[in-house]
Amino acid sequence: MRIAFTTKGTDWNSPMDPRFGRTAFFLIYDEEKDELIHFDNSATEGAAHGAGPKAAQKLFELKATVLITGNGPGGNAGTVLEQVGVKSYVGAGEMNVQEAYKAYKNNELKAF
Amino acid sequence: MRISIASGKGGTGKTTLSTNLSAFLAEGSEVVLADLDVEEPNSGLFIRGDLISTEHKYKMVPEWKEDACTLCGLCQKVCNFNAVIRLANQILVFPQLCHGCYACSELCPTESLPMIPQKMGQLSLYKRGNLNFVESRLDVGEEQAVPLISQTIDYIDQHFPEAKYKIFDAPPGTSCPVIEATKDSDFVILITEPTPFGLHDLKLAVETIRSLNKPFGIVINRDGLGNDDVIEYCTKQNISILAKIPNSRKIAELYSQGELLYHQIPEMAQALKEIENYLSKLVIQELA
């Protein structure tokens, strides 16, 4: 499973970013390889429109199958995520990445 | 002559001035008033005329045809608005994000993204004496105001080439819809209120209109409220103050009932007269 987190930093202790499309980073944790990579999403700061679908497309390229975030994606992004089969979990906006992962594993996050 | 009435800050009196000025000028010449705040048009609350016609308005958006598509991704690459997204085995189009630039459609090597019309709103024409009122209304859920604003201005140019005054009630703010509603005008009236908020947004509006190289002047609404900072700013910046509309409870009451003001508020009639005089001089200069 490749799990994507919306985050404000690049390691396990980083705070989560509650936003989806305009999150500062995506952290991707590959459970099989036990490997954590990050993608800098700050380029979307300048995008007036369409940050959501763009970010969702990026998750597809990064081969994520689960998304853990705060507020949850909007309608357009939701459409893309559904098409590419990424399952979203919300409510982790106030946690750090480690806590968010634990909460996901313990089924404490809400499916979006 | 095309005159746009804009403001920067919302709720400072664009519609009050647009509707009253249009009705006032229409007592002497043919006038077209267009409500270009297509996301939330409200001039029609104050101008009640006979409905002459209504038509649907369309914008062109790409539609994906999968047969010949090779999923090369050029469409996604050229879209500045993320309205076209390439996935593993399909292209997704988000019509609400599309600005109708045709880039994806024109550049597609397999012609898999033909442009098709999609309804975005409607335009209605009303008439009351010399006053022609055009109201465009964007459909709920549509995000792009610019194409409808642009088509509304085209409609007015086609149908009313002879009108002496074309008054455009612009949207608030300083973003794309405001640019579209002012960029082809001969003159812009910026209406503001003498408060710190009003001044802050007036400065942004002035900066915007100056970068469009448009002649403009200021009308102060709710004069008597707040402080003198707006007047000081205009003096320092060498900006003409065309007129002032007083801060008055009676005006607020009439407004809340959807009434025009100048028949009952002498100061309003006076302000409109001053604006008319100023505009007449511009018309003469234009002819000279």
Using one digit for the tens of pLDDT, what is the confidence trace for B79-116? 999 999 999 889 999 998 898 899 999 999 999 999 99
**pTM of the predicted model, to two decimals?**
0.82
Give which of B85, B89, B142 to mutate to test A binding, by max A Cβ within 10 Å.
B85
Q: What is residue B48's predicted lDDT score, i.e. its pLDDT?
A: 87
Question: Please, are residues A81 and A68 in contact by the beta-carbon 8 Å criterion?
Answer: no
Rg (CA), chain A: 12
Of A49, A50, A60, nearest to B87 by CB-CB distance is: A60
Domain with A83, as residue range(s), is 2-111
Q: What is residue B103's predicted lDDT score, i.e. its pLDDT?
A: 97
**Angle at alpha carbon of residue B233, lines to B227 and B239, rounded to 5°:** 125
Residues of chain B with CATH 3.40.50.300: 2-58+124-287
Contact A83 B87 (CB under 8 A): yes
Q: What is residue B288's predicted lDDT score, i.e. its pLDDT?
A: 64
Q: Which two tokens stand for residue B25?
A: 């000028």
CATH T-level fold of B64-113? Alpha-Beta Plaits (3.30.70)
Whole-number Cα distances in Å, B126 to B54, B133, B146, B157, B252: 9, 5, 22, 16, 25
Q: Using CB atoms and an 8 Å cut-off, which of residues 42-61 of chain A contact chain B?
A: 47-51, 53-54, 56-57, 60
Give which of A22, A41, A54 to mutate to test B binding, by max B Cβ within 10 Å.
A54
User: Count of domains in chain A?
Assistant: 1
Contact B87 A84 (CB under 8 A): yes
Contact B96 A76 (CB under 8 A): yes
| One pLDDT digit (tens) per residue for chain A, 112 residues | 999 999 999 999 999 999 999 999 999 999 999 999 999 998 887 777 889 999 999 999 999 999 999 999 999 999 999 999 999 999 999 999 999 999 999 999 999 8
Q: Residue B83: its chain A contacts at CB < 8 A?
A: 49-50, 53
Of A49, A57, A60, nearest to B97 by CB-CB distance is: A49
Q: What is residue A47's predicted lDDT score, i.e. its pLDDT?
A: 75
CA-based nearest distance B222→chain A, Å:
34
What residues of chain B score a pLDDT lower than 70? 287-288
Contact A53 B97 (CB under 8 A): yes
Question: Please, are residues A56 and A40 in contact by the beta-carbon 8 Å criterion?
Answer: no
Residues of chain B with CATH 3.30.70.20: 64-113
CATH of the domain at A74: 3.30.420.130
Closest CA in chain A for residue B88: A84
Contact B92 A79 (CB under 8 A): yes
CATH of B2-58+124-287, one of 1.10.357.10, 3.30.1490.390, 3.40.50.300, 3.40.50.360: 3.40.50.300
Q: What is residue B165's predicted lDDT score, i.e. its pLDDT?
A: 96
For helices A51-61 and A75-84, the axis angle rounded to 10 degrees is 20
CB atoms within 10 A of CB A32: 7
